[in-house]
């Protein structure tokens, strides 16, 4: 079997590391294609090297344009490669422009599509990610859902249950596999950070970074944290901050982007996490940390229902209150499988492709 894998963004590199290992142990040939959607070295190359992911068979170097420009360029180049490689299956992850382009190219060539993280919904069609994931799900031949909630979303949209497989979350597989390899960033000791006495924060979604008001509100809420806030700065966020008249509070410490293994260390050793990232919300749960989500909605509704994730939007009052609150949080439930999602996905591919 030949699997054609499309990746382009940081979370997809991490997920691909799980399946690439599983493919190797199952003697499945993988053609790994990096679209270049995350083209910054700190957001791309470092993940391939530290996660021991095989170097991409192809790097399309597409990135930096609008959603339409990126998707169109990727679609054209991916189609050319699929015609040459003649894969038995095209594998796509998540909800990026790379995901949609890979699925579209495969669908036009009548190649079976396998979608990892199928069925997630924010129910906000203004999010580009929501459009990408809905369209990809409805083009796919095999839908690998991380949770029962995700499966219910697909069934509600009329997707055949025969195409849906609840396998758990490959991100949890990765966390389990790399947990003993977590790396303390070199600047931690110099910064005087104490274990369990800092907030880990990430901000990158366009709905926040493209709005001066939302960014000011978020930093106003973070300013009243009683402990340091560590913010690894996404390149796009840094660019936006430079263009806006936003005075960063002293309690917020901006650091350069961190690798996946460094992020694991920070997540495991912080007190709590504040983020607008979908993946980091899950990683917070994996590391048993309370999460403050600076969005109006989340795809991971089970975490909100469980009380370990708090939606605060851009409300400075809600952010301030959530950061400085304390309580008991129950992380005992296995929402995302047992760390064997990759194995289950390979078993299904071998049976159905």
List residues with catalytic annotation.
204
The structure tokens listed for 41 are: 């070295």
Phi-psi region of 53 (alpha: psi -120 to 50; beta: other; left: phi over 0): beta
Q: Please tell me the distance from the alpha carbon of residue 237 to that of residue 203, in angstroms, as a whole number.
A: 7
The structure tokens listed for 250 are: 């002293």
Interhelix angle 260-269/278-286, rounded to 10 degrees, is 50
Q: Are the C-beta atoms of 63 and 37 separated by less than 8 Å?
A: yes
| Full 3-state SS string of the chain | CEEEEEECCHHHHHHHHHHHHHHHHCCCEEEEEECCCCCCHHHCHHHHHHCCCCCCCEECCCCCCCHHHHHHHHHHHHHHHHHHHCCCEEEEECCCHHHHHHHHHHHHCCCCEEEECCCCCCCCCCCHHHHHHHHHHHHCCEEEECCHHHHHHHHHCCCCHHHEEECCCHHHHHHHHHHHHCCCCCCCCCCCCCCCCCEEEECCCHHHHCCHHHHHHHHHHHCCCCCCEEEECCHHHHHHHHHCCCCCCCCEEEECCCCHHHHHHHHHHCCEEEECCHHHHHHHHHCCCEEEECCCCCCCHHHHHHCCEEECCCCHHHHHHHHCCCCCCCCCCCCCCCCCHHHHHHHHHHHHC
């Amino acid at each position: 079997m030949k699997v054609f894998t499309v990746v382009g963004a940081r979370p997809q590199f991490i997920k691909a590391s799980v399946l690439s290992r599983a493919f190797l142990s199952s003697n499945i040939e993988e053609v790994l294609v990096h679209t270049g959607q995350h083209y910054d070295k700190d957001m791309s190359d470092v993940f391939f090297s530290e996660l021991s992911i095989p170097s991409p068979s192809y790097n399309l170097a597409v990135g930096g344009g609008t959603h339409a420009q990126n998707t169109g360029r990727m679609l054209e180049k991916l189609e050319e490669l699929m015609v040459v490689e003649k894969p038995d299956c095209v594998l796509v992850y998540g909800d990026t422009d790379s995901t949609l382009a890979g699925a579209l190219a495969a669908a036009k060539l009548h190649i079976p599509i396998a979608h990892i993280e199928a069925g997630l919904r924010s129910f906000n069609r203004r999010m580009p990610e929501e459009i990408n994931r809905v369209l990809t799900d409805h083009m796919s031949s095999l839908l690998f859902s991380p949770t029962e909630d995700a499966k219910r979303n697909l069934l509600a949209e009329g997707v055949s249950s025969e195409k849906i497989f609840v396998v758990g979350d490959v991100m949890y597989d990765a966390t389990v596999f790399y947990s003993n390899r977590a790396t303390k960033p070199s600047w931690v000791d110099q910064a005087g950070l104490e274990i369990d006495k800092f907030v880990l924060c990430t901000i990158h979604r366009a709905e926040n970074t493209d709005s001066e008001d939302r960014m000011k509100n978020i930093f106003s809420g973070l300013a009243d944290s009683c402990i340091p806030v560590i913010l690894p700065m996404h390149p796009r966020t840094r660019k936006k901050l430079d263009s806006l008249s936003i005075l960063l509070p002293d309690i917020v410490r901006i650091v350069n982007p961190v690798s996946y293994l460094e992020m694991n260390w920070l997540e495991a050793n912080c007190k709590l996490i504040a983020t607008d990232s979908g993946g980091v919300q899950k990683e917070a749960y994996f590391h048993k940390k309370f999460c403050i989500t600076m969005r109006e909605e989340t795809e991971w509704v089970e975490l909100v229902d469980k009380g370990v994730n708090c939606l605060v939007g851009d409300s400075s009052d809600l952010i301030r209150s959530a950061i400085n609150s304390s309580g008991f949080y129950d992380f005992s439930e296995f929402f995302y499988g047992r760390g064997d999602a990759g194995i289950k996905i390979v078993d299904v591919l071998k049976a159905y492709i």
